[in-house]
Amino acid sequence: MKTNVDVVVIGCGPAGIQAGIHSSRKKAETVIIGKMRNSSLYGAHVENYFGIKGKTDGSLLLRTGLEQAASFGCTHIDLNVIGASADEDGFRIKAESGEEIVCRSVVIATGTSRMKLNIPGEKEFHGKGVSYCAECDCNFFKGLKVAIVGDESEAAVSAELMTEYASTVYWVSNGISASSNLVDKARDAGVKIIEGIPKAIEGDTDVKRLILGDDRSIEVDGVFIELGGRSSAYLAMDLGLMPETDDSIKVDSNCETSVTGLFACGDITGRPWQLAKAVGEGAVAGLSAAERARYAK
């Protein structure tokens, strides 16, 4: 299925939702695609934002924001993005369901990249068997055993990819939430799915095993930590933009990147990682993306 719209906002946090609100209010046909629970604000509390007295539930703010966006005509798709590309017709955004959305402007608002497990051995073995990018490091694990850790689309896509390189691929998840077609593709490629919670990563000079919460041990040479949906850095590169060395995305005063029609806002543009900055940049990016889409018609 293919859909044509003016603006696609990738990310359902405060920056992305605010971008969707402002883009829709400018009468641009706008789609926000992303899972609200992947936002750092989800489940958190806020007490330092203008107009909020005391602690406020971040999840409530996100839900209210989505309702606001919908009231202005914005559509929300509760799926992760697994791919993106650019051509003469604009941008093509692919959801984990297989649906493709064609648009004139894109706003990347996915938050910071490289979410971590924060378990023993993760930091110590980073670069020695622990990786956050299967696409980047797949060649280093030819003929070896690897574990992919994650519940969502990025883990599913990475697990399938690694079957082309590794001798054995385990997908460790505490409850798969990726779409069924991605899970089926991983299974059909030979991925072995293991239910469990990672507890520690062990080894000597390099990774040797992944320990689960019930003390089961999986003998592997590499552990790929792929949490959530496709990261901002991957999406930027898909669309012809090279991120900064810290995976942030450089933008101008209109929140536009060096790629015409590609905008970014929120935590991915750099510090401070604060709600006020995210919302402010979201407003600028949404207005700018809608204006750019209008000129592209």
The pLDDT tens digits of the residues spanning 164-206 come to 999 999 999 999 999 899 999 999 999 999 999 999 999 999 9
Q: 9 and 106 share a domain?
A: yes
Question: What does 229-264 look like in DSSP terms, one character per residue?
Answer: S--HHHHHHHTT-PPPTTS-----TTSB-SSTTEEE
Q: Is residue 121 part of a domain?
A: no
Q: 237 and 184 share a domain?
A: no
What's the pLDDT at 136?
Answer: 78
Report helix, strand or coil for 115: coil
Which of 197, 225, 253 is the last residue in one of the domains?
Answer: 225
pLDDT, tens only, 16-31: 999 999 999 999 999 9
Per-residue pLDDT band for 297 (boundaries 50, 70, 90) equals low
What's the pLDDT at 252?
Answer: 98
Q: Is residue 124 part of a domain?
A: no
Q: Is residue 146 part of a domain?
A: yes
Residue 172 sits in a domain whose CATH number is: 3.50.50.60
Res. 276: pLDDT tops 80: yes
Q: Does residue 280 contact residue 261 with C-beta atoms inside 8 Å?
A: no
Q: Is residue 103 part of a domain?
A: yes
CB count within 10 Å of CB 210 equals 29
- Give the containing element (helix H, strand E) for 31: strand 30-33
Q: 178 and 267 share a domain?
A: no
CB count within 10 Å of CB 211 equals 18
**H helices within the chain, ranges in order?**
14-25, 58-71, 134-137, 153-162, 180-188, 232-238, 275-296
Q: 235 and 210 share a domain?
A: no
pLDDT, tens only, 218-247: 999 999 999 877 778 889 999 999 988 788
Q: 218 and 256 share a domain?
A: no
Q: 186 and 49 share a domain?
A: no
Which of 198, 225, 252 is the last residue in one of the domains?
Answer: 225
Q: 103 and 237 share a domain?
A: yes
Q: 175 and 194 share a domain?
A: yes
Domain count, the chain: 2
Q: 218 and 196 share a domain?
A: yes
Q: Is residue 122 part of a domain?
A: no
Report helix, strand or coil for 293: helix
Which of 225, 249, 271 is the last residue in one of the domains?
Answer: 225
Q: 198 and 234 share a domain?
A: no
CB count within 10 Å of CB 275 equals 22
Residue 21 structural domain: 2-113+230-296
Res. 1: pLDDT tops 60: no
Record the pTM: 0.81
Q: 70 and 83 share a domain?
A: yes
Q: 220 and 267 share a domain?
A: no
User: What is the dihedral angle through the alpha carbons of 75, 80, 86, 89, rounded to the nearest 10 degrees?
Assistant: -30
Q: Which of 102, 101, 82 is nearest to 179 (CA)?
A: 82
Report helix, strand or coil for 100: strand
CA distance 282 to 273: 13
